Structure 1
Amino acid sequence: MLRSSLVDVAVAAVATAVLALLVPAVHAEIRTTPVVSDPRPIVFFEQFGFARGGKATLSISLASWRIRPDSPLKTVDASLMGFVLISGAQFPSINNQTEYADADPGGGTRFCVLTSGHALPVLRLNDVPPGGAASTVTVDEPGEYAVVFSNCQDGVEVTMDVRTEMYNVRGPDGARDYLPVGLQPLPAIYACVSAVYAAFLAAWAWACARRRDAAERIHAVMGALLLFKTLKTACAAEDAWFVERIGTPHGWDVAFYVFGFFKGVLLFTVIVLIGTGWSFLKPYLQERDKSVLMIVIPLQVIENLVLVVIGETGPTGRDWVVWNQVFLLVDVICCCAIFFPIIWSIRSLREASKTDGKAARNLHKLTLFKRFYVVVVGYLYFTRIIVSAFLAVLSYRYKWGVNVAVEAASFAFYLFVFYNFQPVERNPYLYICEEEETAAEGLEMDNGAF
């Protein structure tokens, strides 16, 4: 049972890594977590990258426990329940100890994480008086550590309030830095990203105003997307800045979720509207196009609500891994749904190129939408899969590099979309007047690509 619990902890760690790519907001490193009638042998609380001399403080209050009716235990040994710090490098060693204990037929007592030499003990429940207790541990070996509660007694449910406070000490004055090693550059990174998108938004507004006659309704929607992207990254910078200094986001996490919600909805809406050719190929949406929007937008609402639940409950919640799986499933469905309008536009453009006598113009439109399709696939594949694989092998000291990679890919995607669909009177992709013979030859070579 303990081995399966360690697997659950590993799954939670992987889910945390994947979610960190999709949720760049920084969670507070000072957190109070209620645990209510929890019988799990392993409970994963927090993960933090420590420098040498970093400190972890755990405060426990209102601690109580009871034996479940179906348990063979008669009494509870509180010394077999407590908190430890486990380095990421030590998880394989602890797992090996667990396997060895399970394989030993004469082992008698099962393996307990609290007694492992690979775990750094913090506080046991037998040392907690009725009024509560706190313990501070100094980390001598730098690394990424997980705060884990271990209950080595089957059938015992634990209830308590746990306050975790983890930080690194910097400077001669001993100032506390609540950002883990590897995420300390985030305030500057997000501030720069926000400034870049603010300049992007100003340039887009100037381009739309200068070419007002060529501007369509889709360009206003695209401008709103840039606005919320700018606000979201600005809130992420403030969130990280406050967490770094005082350990709490000071309300900036709420603004981050709000602006992130609108940004997520608008991003998928813009992709769907461009994919259907709305404002470029036709001034209206067909019923199937509306159906895609009616699927994508509610799914984005659900995804952002699940995002808030995941971010606010943390990995301690019993259903945290399930919520992560729901989040990833909804995200995958959204990513798949937005491909259909693009494919429909590509097919209709190919058919129009063959029948309506405007092969040259439609062929160049077809080329644009095929490029758009490839870029959307590449963007989603990179930000959902490639970067998560990169994070799995990256040292904890350089996790900020993943955030930079995601933001760079996002900016490149935005730049491609906004450049190719900018308001231009004679857009080279949408208003081409080439010879029909040349277009026909190109169409013949292109035939069968989709």
Structure 2
Amino acid sequence: MHITLQSSHVIHIAGGFGFSPTGKASLTLESFSIQQKEDDEKFSAFFILRKYSTPDAFLEEYSEALDTNKCLIEDGHDHHDDVIIDVSDQSSWASPQQVSHPFDPSSSGLYYLIFQRCSPTGDDKHHKVSFLLNHHFANYAEDGREDHLSVGEQPLPTIYAIFGMLYAAAAAGWVLAVRRAKKAEFGAAS
């Protein structure tokens, strides 16, 4: 994802990905920069991959952060499952930052990736950020096969295949019924 000159202090980057106990998240941040004045207050910003119990729980916290300028990592809650890239230190911007996080049974679940600028606070035209963030989310099967589907989406290919076969069988049955009806109609006419 490439963000250029974004003034929002909270950005929803990716989310709603369900990691299994064998899942893995890899984040690579490059070319991070901010436009700000020399006399501005200390800069504080983070990329947070955070676990939520439901999509509604994410939306509630995200909306609150947008409305109140609440800093998500300073909310007083224990978020031991958070994966964080701290970009507050300007010297870290020169080289790419990489984070790889494997999940286990206690940390698996629904995660959302968010960027937040905690200070200076608020949305304005004087503190625009730009960055390139590559994220790779995957779950791994027992045989080591990589699956890019979220835990809740993994059964979908099987379900689609079953319904596809049922549809094909129903279509074949319909064609046979139409042909039989035509034969019966033409046979009765002669």
TM-score by length of 2: 0.69
What's the counterpart of residue 148 of structure 1?
Answer: 114
What stretches of structure 1 of length at least 5 have no aligned partner? 1-32, 103-109, 214-450
- Structure 2: distance between partners of 1:204 and 1:128: 65
**Amino acid paired to 2:139:** N
- Structure 1: distance between partners of 2:175 and 2:27: 50
Q: What is the SS of the residue equivalent to 2:39?
A: coil
Q: What is the SS of the residue equivalent to 1:40?
A: coil
Q: How far 1:114 moved relative to its partner? A: 3.1
How many residues are paired up?
A: 164
Any residues of structure 2 matched to 1:244-283 within 5 Å, and which? Answer: none
What's the counterpart of residue 195 of structure 1?
Answer: 165
Q: How far 1:145 moved relative to its partner? A: 1.1
What's the counterpart of residue 43 of structure 1?
Answer: 11
- Structure 1: distance between partners of 2:83 and 2:162: 40
Q: Greater share of strand residues, 1 or 2?
A: 2
- Structure 1: distance between partners of 2:102 and 2:138: 10
User: Aligned to 1:170, which of 136, 141, 145?
Assistant: 141
Q: How far 1:61 moved relative to its partner? A: 2.0
Q: What is the SS of the residue equivalent to 2:82?
A: strand
Q: How far 1:87 moved relative to its partner? A: 1.6
Q: How far 1:38 moved relative to its partner? A: 1.2
Is the CA contact (8 Å cut-off) linking 1:50 and 1:139 kept in structure 2? yes
Q: Deviations over 1:350-395 (max 9, x none)?
A: xxxxxxxxxxxxxxxxxxxxxxxxxxxxxxxxxxxxxxxxxxxxxx
1:54 aligns with 2:23: yes
**Amino acid paired to 1:112:** C
Identity %: 24
Is the CA contact (8 Å cut-off) linking 1:52 and 1:142 kept in structure 2? yes
1:87 aligns with 2:51: yes
Q: What is the SS of the residue equivalent to 1:74?
A: coil
**Amino acid paired to 1:58:** L
- Structure 2: distance between partners of 1:134 and 1:113: 21
What's the counterpart of residue 66 of structure 1?
Answer: 35
- Structure 2: distance between partners of 1:40 and 1:191: 42
Q: How far 1:73 moved relative to its partner? A: 7.7
CA RMSD of aligned residues (A): 3.2
Q: How far 1:195 moved relative to its partner? A: 0.9
Q: Greater share of helix residues, 1 or 2?
A: 1
User: Aligned to 1:208, which of 156, 172, 178?
Assistant: 178
**Amino acid paired to 1:36:** T
Q: What is the SS of the residue equivalent to 2:167?
A: helix
- Structure 1: distance between partners of 2:11 and 2:49: 12
- Structure 2: distance between partners of 1:203 and 1:179: 34
What's the counterpart of residue 153 of structure 2?
Answer: 183
What's the counterpart of residue 253 of structure 1?
Answer: none
Is the CA contact (8 Å cut-off) linking 1:114 and 1:150 kept in structure 2? no
**Amino acid paired to 1:122:** I
What stretches of structure 2 of length at least 5 have no aligned partner? 184-190
What's the counterpart of residue 115 of structure 1?
Answer: 74
- Structure 1: distance between partners of 2:74 and 2:49: 12
Q: How far 1:88 moved relative to its partner? A: 1.5
